[in-house]
């Protein structure tokens, strides 16, 4: 008798039954988030203020020492430089290639759907599959790429074994794999531009360069900005290619922020959880700053439209 | 003049397709050549005869069938989990009148923002405490709730006519019954988009299984490829064959469901 009346009751303007259902329905996702995101988030900050014993237990409070290491240790300063260089190699070139291909795929001509599907195919490659296949292509002696270069009378390149080329070689694989995504997003952006604008410009006698410069580019700015943010974050998180192709070498020339985090926590005999956590906090801060900038920009965008 | 431009356009498209697809082509071609052919100079680009035995050899060298099963099983379980948790949470956020709704939504958005690599150390330590290292739960549970999934479902539910919801409720339709018999059938295409997106992401996952799994029979296909990479370095044909097996399901899914995948990928980008 009392159960239905309890469920029908209202507390502070909310129905008790609805509250019960809400708790029940939200519990699965909130438990997962609590255990695997929120608690680890607090714990990452906590661990970053400690140095740990061999079993990974935080034993000595060291304050900001781990962060001090990041800004003073030459190895870690080098890591930050490598991370920045990797962004330079991947982000803008990746977006430019994606936009270029999307422009090629924009006109509604025969069989364009087939080309759209074909050119977006790298999306189907996993990090691991792409990395092991390019490893064979890049091989110094019998590798396919050097074979082709020599056939054309060009000197062989130490793709992955020279500190000058390794980061670029890894960047190529990363750009190639991510290209399907940039291409799809650019194409969707291009398709949202009304055809009438191009028609009007054509009637006014605008050249194809002018149509690109004064219609496509301004109207694509929000899409390109979105891609800039997303690819930067994606690039910062690159791990599999580096682990499988160079393991951070040669002479740390491909050790980026995320890879150094992995190495300090999990490489043989390391277990430096304090430093790894501090590096995790740095990554989190960088990603947060980028995201905040994006929100600011989007707000301005809404204001304009 | 116009035809000339069109011909040039197709020429550029074909050239771009050749460059972009070359790695895929050679993965398949290389999987059908012998190691001697693959190490020949000048490089051989087209297989003379088809050496399908490479696939048999790679299945012998690695527990690839078991790892294939692991990958499909883990990815399917994650998809199921994400669909259930996302629908339930988004339902509450859109249809129910509860306190702290914005706080809960904020927490969910926060989980999208945080890069998972930042949290890798404590997440790993939690898994050690739960004794989930080298187990399926360790591969599955951290991923069965997705902030992106909840966000996407919420967007779809927001466009659901409120009157239908209220009419159903007044007629005495319970919350769970409404979700299962009215909401889910209507948003099925959206569930398909989210499911595909999550399946591809989970199947291709690399960092987490690398940390969590330490025996070959529990490894997913992606980690199996790594072992192939280091142990079979003198047999490139096996590496190509292994990679071809690993990408085959993704290629099939990509070409079959391209429209849905494109919709999923652009749902965050273009308003």
Domain range spanning residue B19? 2-56
Residue B266 located in a structural domain = no
Q: How confident is the model at residue B269 (pLDDT cuts 50, 70, 90)?
A: low
Over 90: is that where the pLDDT of A167 sits? yes
Over 80: is that where the pLDDT of A7 sits? no
Determine the Cα–Cα distance for residues A162 and A150; give it in Å rounded to an integer. 18
Residue B24 located in a structural domain = yes
Residue B256 located in a structural domain = no
Domain shared by A11 and A120, yes or no: no
Question: Chain-centre distance of CA B115, in angstroms?
Answer: 17
Domain shared by A36 and A84, yes or no: no
Assign residue A270 the CATH number of its domain.
Answer: 1.10.3720.10
Which tokens belong to A122? 């790298």
Please tell me which of A99-113, A164-178, A263-277, B175-189 the model is most confident about, judged by mean pLDDT: A164-178
Mean pLDDT of chain A: 88
Domain shared by A31 and A168, yes or no: no
Domain shared by B84 and B216, yes or no: yes
What is the structure's pLDDT at A205?
85
Domain shared by A108 and A176, yes or no: yes
A197 vs chain B: nearest CA distance in angstroms? 19
The reply to whether residue A124 touches residue B242, judged by beta carbons under 8 angstroms, is no
Residue with tokens 């069109």: B6
The reply to whether residue A188 touches residue B266, judged by beta carbons under 8 angstroms, is yes
Determine the Cα–Cα distance for residues B11 and A126; give it in Å rounded to an integer. 29
Domain shared by B40 and B73, yes or no: no
Interface of A with B in 221-250 (CB under 8 A): 223, 226-227, 230, 233, 236-237, 239-240, 243-244
Residue B103 located in a structural domain = yes
Q: How many CB pairs under 8 A join A and B?
A: 263
**Any bridge partners for residue A11, and if so which?**
A14
**Any bridge partners for residue A51, and if so which?**
A60
Residue A170 located in a structural domain = yes
Q: Quote the pTM value.
A: 0.90
Those residues with Cβ within 8 angstroms of residue A103's Cβ, 6 or more apart along the chain or in another chain? A190, A212, A216
Residue A118: its chain B contacts at CB < 8 A? Answer: 17, 20-21
The reply to whether residue A105 touches residue B13, judged by beta carbons under 8 angstroms, is yes
Residue A117: its chain B contacts at CB < 8 A? Answer: 255, 258
Domain shared by B132 and B21, yes or no: no
Question: How many structural domains comprise chain B?
Answer: 2
Domain shared by B148 and B203, yes or no: yes
What is the structure's pLDDT at A103?
93
ipTM of the complex: 0.90
Residue B218 located in a structural domain = yes
Of B24, B100, B118, B132, which to mutate for an interface test with A (greatest number of A Cβ within 10 Å)? B118
Question: How many structural domains comprise chain A?
Answer: 2
Mean pLDDT of A154-166: 89
Tens-place pLDDT, residues B47-101: 888 888 889 888 888 888 899 999 999 999 999 999 999 999 999 999 998 889 9
Residue B113 located in a structural domain = yes
Domain range spanning residue A162? 74-304
Q: How confident is the model at residue A303 (pLDDT cuts 50, 70, 90)?
A: very low
Residue A16 located in a structural domain = yes
Q: Cβ distance B151 to B108 under 8 Å?
A: yes
User: Looking at B56, B81, B99, which one is the last position of a domain?
Assistant: B56
Residue A55 located in a structural domain = no
Q: Cβ distance B233 to A138 under 8 Å?
A: no
Domain shared by B77 and B199, yes or no: yes
Q: Does residue B27 sit at the A interface (CB-CB below 8 Å)? A: yes
Interface of A with B in 84-113 (CB under 8 A): 101, 104-105, 107, 109
Hey, is A61 helix, strand or coil? strand
Q: How confident is the model at residue A140 (pLDDT cuts 50, 70, 90)?
A: confident
Over 70: is that where the pLDDT of A71 sits? yes
What is the SS3 string spanning A96-144?
A: HHHHHHHHHHCCCCCCHHHHHHHHCHHHHCCHHHHHHHHHHHHCCCCCH
- Give me the phi and psi of A213, to 5 degrees please: -70, -40
Determine the Cα–Cα distance for residues A121 and B82; give it in Å rounded to an integer. 26
Determine the Cα–Cα distance for residues A193 and A137; give it in Å rounded to an integer. 40
The reply to whether residue A284 touches residue B225, judged by beta carbons under 8 angstroms, is no
B/e letters for A256-274, b = 16+ CB within 10 Å, e = fewer, are bbbbbbbbbbbeeeebbbb
What is the structure's pLDDT at A18?
86
Domain shared by B12 and B103, yes or no: no
Check residues A69 and A296 and name the one with the higher pLDDT: A69
Domain shared by A82 and A129, yes or no: yes
Residue A9 located in a structural domain = yes
Mean pLDDT of chain B: 89
Domain shared by A10 and A93, yes or no: no
């Amino acid at each position: 008798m009392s159960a239905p009346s309890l469920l029908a009751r209202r507390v502070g303007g909310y129905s008790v039954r609805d509250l019960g259902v809400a708790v029940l329905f939200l519990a699965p996702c909130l438990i997962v988030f609590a255990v695997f995101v929120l608690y680890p988030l607090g714990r990452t900050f906590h661990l970053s203020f400690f140095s740990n014993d061999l079993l990974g237990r935080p034993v000595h409070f060291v304050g900001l020492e781990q962060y001090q290491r990041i800004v003073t240790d030459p190895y870690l300063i080098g890591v930050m430089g490598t991370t920045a260089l990797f962004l330079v190699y991947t982000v803008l070139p990746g977006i430019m290639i994606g936009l270029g291909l999307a422009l090629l795929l924009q006109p509604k001509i025969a069989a364009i759907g087939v080309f759209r599907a074909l050119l977006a195919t790298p999306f189907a490659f996993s990090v691991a599959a792409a990395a092991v296949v390019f490893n064979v292509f890049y091989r110094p002696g019998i590798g396919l790429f050097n074979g082709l270069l020599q056939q054309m009378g060009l000197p062989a390149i130490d793709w992955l074994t020279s500190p000058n080329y390794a980061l670029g070689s890894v960047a190529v694989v990363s750009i190639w794999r991510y290209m399907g995504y940039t291409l799809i997003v650019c194409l969707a952006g291009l398709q949202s531009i009304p055809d009438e604008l191009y028609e009007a410009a054509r009637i006014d006698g605008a050249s194809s360069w002018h149509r690109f410069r004064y219609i496509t580019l301004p109207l694509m700015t929000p899409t390109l900005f979105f891609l800039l943010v997303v690819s930067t974050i994606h690039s910062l998180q690159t791990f599999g290619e580096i682990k499988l192709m160079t393991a951070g070498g040669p002479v740390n020339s491909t050790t980026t922020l995320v890879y150094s985090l992995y190495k300090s926590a999990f490489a043989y005999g390391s277990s430096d959880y304090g430093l790894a956590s501090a590096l995790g906090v740095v990554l989190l801060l960088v990603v947060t700053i980028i995201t905040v900038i994006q929100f600011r920009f989007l707000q301005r965008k809404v204001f304009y439209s | 003049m116009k035809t000339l431009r069109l011909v040039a356009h197709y020429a550029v498209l074909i050239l771009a397709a050749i460059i972009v697809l070359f790695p895929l082509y050679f993965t398949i071609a290389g999987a059908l050549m012998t190691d001697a052919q693959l190490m020949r100079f000048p490089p051989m680009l087209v297989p003379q005869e088809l050496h399908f035995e490479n696939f048999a050899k790679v299945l012998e060298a690695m527990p690839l069938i078991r790892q294939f099963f692991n990958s499909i099983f883990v990815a399917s379980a994650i998809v199921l989990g994400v669909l259930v948790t996302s629908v339930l949470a988004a339902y509450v956020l859109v249809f129910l009148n509860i306190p702290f709704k914005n706080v809960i939504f904020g927490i969910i958005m926060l989980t999208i923002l945080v890069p998972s690599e930042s949290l890798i150390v404590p997440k790993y330590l939690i898994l050690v405490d739960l004794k989930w290292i080298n187990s399926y739960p360790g591969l599955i549970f951290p991923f069965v709730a997705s902030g992106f999934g909840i966000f996407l479902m919420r967007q779809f539910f927001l466009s659901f006519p409120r009157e239908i919801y209220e009419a159903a409720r007044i007629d005495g339709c319970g919350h769970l019954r409404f979700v299962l018999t009215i909401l889910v059938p209507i948003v099925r295409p959206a569930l398909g988009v989210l499911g595909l997106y999550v399946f591809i992401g989970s199947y291709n996952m690399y960092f987490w299984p690398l940390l969590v799994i330490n025996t070959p029979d529990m490894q997913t296909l992606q980690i199996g490829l790594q072992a192939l990479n280091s142990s079979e370095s003198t047999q490139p044909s096996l590496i190509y064959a292994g990679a071809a097996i690993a990408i085959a399901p993704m290629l099939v899914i990509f070409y079959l469901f391209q429209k849905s995948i494109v919709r999923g990928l652009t749902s965050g980008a273009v308003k």
